[in-house]
Amino acid sequence: MIRSNPSSCVGEHNSADASEAGVVLVEFVYVIPVLLFLIIAGFEFGNLLHLKQSSAFIAKESALYAYRECSPYHDDAPRSACLFHVRERMERLAEGVIEHADIDIILSVYRDDPGFHDPNAPTPIEPLNKEPGGETDLGFNSKIEPLIVNDTALRDLIQDRELFATAEVNIQYRPIFVRILGVIDFAKFDFYEMSIY
């Protein structure tokens, strides 16, 4: 570079830039992770809100759907098939609105139906999408089912309504940086939403 006039502003600037070129690079290297973090954090935050919103929506729709479709059945086979069908359908719907997250829906219909089963107790219908007596594929448990036998408030509700359907939606989400790094089970967010109809 030719410096024709060392005292000029331009020359001064060029001289300063030349001497601080490495500094800017170093600063930039420092700043980049922070910027990336902020960008990813913003992205993730939006994602989490979206998942929360989706899970509330799916819970409501699943409970309504299960209530309308499956509540009349008192026999095991068609009832299970109906709940299974509703769950499959809602999970397909969920897959359309949720990306990069796993979803488990636990559907149940609880009914106070003396005469068909135990005349003294409401009839808990086994929630679907879980191993009998165990947890779902993603490791969730129904929060309602363990309470249904002894909990007075829930039993009152069943007896008052004669039946209701519940949907418990569990969503498991792994943040994008976990996925980028390929680290499994490093960090994940679980969402739970339920709805009663």
Partner 1 sequence: MKCPSTNTSLRAVNSDCERGVVFPLMVFAIIAIFAMMGLAIDGGRMYSASLASQNWADSAAFSAASQIVLNSNDYDNLSTTVLNRAKDAARQVATQSARFSSFERRNFSVNVSAAKSGGTIVTNSLVQFDLPLYLMRVVPGFGSKITIRNAARAEVTPTLGMITLDASGSMNCPHSGDCSCYPNCGPDSNLRLAELIKVVKDEILDRFDRTRDMIGVMVYDKTVKPLVAINPAGGFTQLTTAEEDIYKLNAKTFQPSNITLALIRAYEAVNVHYANPLLRNRTPFIGLLSDGAPTATCWHLSDIKGAVSAQFDPPPPPPGTPAGPPMHIGCTWEVTWEGFFDPGDPNNFIVTGDSLSGIRDDRLLQKEGIAPLSTASSYSAVPVIHHAVDKGFDKPACSNLTFQGWAGPTLAGDPEDAINELGTCLNSFKTIDLDGNAFPPTAAQAPINKPDPGAGMKLSGIDEWRKHFYHTAIAQADAIRGRGYTLYTFGLGQAAGTALDEYDNLDDTLGMKSSQLQRIALQYNQPAYIGTHLSQEDPPRYDYPIPHIWENLINNDSHNKGEFFPVDFDQPDTMRKRMREFVRRVKVRMVN
Site of interaction with partner 1 (CB under 8 A): 12-13, 16, 20, 45, 48-49, 52-53, 56, 59-60, 63, 68-69, 71-75, 77-78, 81-82, 85, 89, 92, 113, 115-116, 143-144, 153-154, 156-157, 160-164, 168, 192-197
- Quick one: 73 or 177, whose CB is closer to partner 1? 73
Write down the least CB distance from residue 7 to partner 1, Å. 15
Write down the least CB distance from residue 27 to partner 1, Å. 11
Write down the least CB distance from residue 65 to partner 1, Å. 11
Write down the least CB distance from residue 48 to partner 1, Å. 7
23 CB-contact burial (10 Å; exposed 0-12 / middle 13-18 / buried 19+): exposed
**Residue 89: CB partners within 8 Å, gap ≥ 6?**
65
- Quick one: 9 or 184, whose CB is closer to partner 1? 9
Which residue, chain included where needed, has tokens 């947890």?
Answer: 135
- Quick one: 82 or 184, whose CB is closer to partner 1? 82
Which long-range contacts does 134-140 make (Cβ < 8 Å, 24+ apart)?
136/104, 136/106, 136/170, 137/102, 137/104, 138/102, 138/104, 138/170, 138/172, 140/104, 140/106, 140/168, 140/170, 140/190, 140/192
- Quick one: 3 or 183, whose CB is closer to partner 1? 3
Write down the least CB distance from residue 53 to partner 1, Å. 6
The H-or-E segment that residue 77 falls in is helix 76-97
- Quick one: 99 or 156, whose CB is closer to partner 1? 156
